[in-house]
A and B are shown apart, each in its own frame.
Chain A
Amino acid sequence: MVVGILRPASWEWLLFVHLFAAFSFVGAVVAVTAASIAASRRDNPREVALLSRVARRLDQLVVWPSFLVLLVAGLWLAGREDVFDRTWLQVGIALTVVGAAAGAGILSWDNRRTMRRAEQLAGEGVERSDELRRMTSGPLPRIVGPLLLLLLVALLWLMTAKPGA
């Protein structure tokens, strides 16, 4: 709190960029999750392909660029405030790495796989597919997606409350 109030005026641009990127990132992750959940409730390959494509585009155009900006601005801020030795920041960075790995390594891969199969089935003129339904309602998006959102809430808590600071 004190750091927030006493932060020099020249740092405010950096804080604005960090917060803007953070909100864009959270918004895009929620939108990707919403599109994935909507896809998991459909069994028409054309509709699943459409929603998966929206999720994929968002992933490429907003999630990852905003994540990079948020990370760079966050590390820059942490450097200027000299807080790299604080537990809340170290835990925050560790959770960020875990979240990025889960997001990129599991969810993005799963979404890409679903999108390709849905496009293939739609191209063959298939109207309903049980195989696709199994793919979209599988344990990966159902477990990892909500876990990732919980992780974001935990990160938000660490970055605002800064426990132990």
Chain B
Amino acid sequence: MSKYDWLLFIHVTGAALLVAGAVVAGVMLLAAMRRERPSEIALLLRTTRVGVALVGLGAFVVLAFGIWLADYLRYGVGDEWVVASIALWALSLALGGLGGRTHRKARVLAERLAVQGDRPSEELRRLVADRPALLLSYASTAAVVGMLVLMVWKPGAF
């Protein structure tokens, strides 16, 4: 197995971890939006932490091995599609992190309400379904899809 094969395999595995983490977090959040009881919302939002950890690991691996791979293939880290990919990577993490702050607050509130009678709360419902936070998460997902588009088409590369 050549060095290229290893680099590509680890780069793609990192990308898979990144997407898997985003799917775990997204699915648990969407499921939490459909629940009323704080204990159920807390349970689902706690599970999103697994996704966040996978996103962190995947993001690091995909970037480090992506740059190594681009350098190995002599694409150049300054090439437009590589720069655009790195920009989308940073944008995706920043947007996801900003959206995640609201959902972290929702988890803390849900855990508190769960031990205080576990009754549905309008404040919690609003926080879980917070529109700006959701839009940030969707935009973060769109940036990840944008990275995939750049990886496949490599605009500007020969």
Contact = CB atoms under 8 A, between A and B. Distances in A.
A43 B151 CA distance: 44
B19 A31 contact: no
Contact of A24 (B13, B23, B39, B153): B23
Nearest to A11: B152
Interface stretch (B1-9, B82-90, B97-105, B120-128): B1-9
B149 A156 contact: no
A20 B145 contact: yes
A156 B12 contact: yes
Given A34-B51, A160-B8, A54 B44 contact: yes
A64 to B, nearest CB: 15
B130 interface: no
Interface in A23-38: 23-24, 26-31, 34-35, 38
Range of interface residues on A (Cβ < 8 Å): 20 to 34
A157 B9 contact: yes
A54 B16 contact: no
Contacts of B4: 1
Contacts of B24: 27, 30-31, 34
Best-surrounded residue of B35, B46, B152, B153 (most CB of chain A within 10 A): B152
Contacts of A62: 23
A50 B27 CA distance: 13
B16 A23 contact: yes
Given A24-B23, A30-B20, A160-B5, A46 B40 contact: yes
A24 B19 contact: yes
B135 interface: no
B110 interface: no
A49 B115 CA distance: 20
A47 to B, nearest CB: 6
B44 A160 contact: no
Given A23-B15, A29-B20, 19 more contacts: A16-B148, A16-B152, A30-B24, A31-B23, A31-B27, A34-B50, A38-B46, A46-B40, A47-B39, A47-B40, A54-B28, A54-B31, A57-B31, A156-B9, A156-B13, A157-B9, A161-B6, A161-B8, A162-B5
Interface of B: 1-2, 4-6, 8-9, 12-13, 15-16, 19-24, 27-28, 31, 35, 39-40, 43-44, 46-47, 50-51, 54, 145, 148-149, 151-153
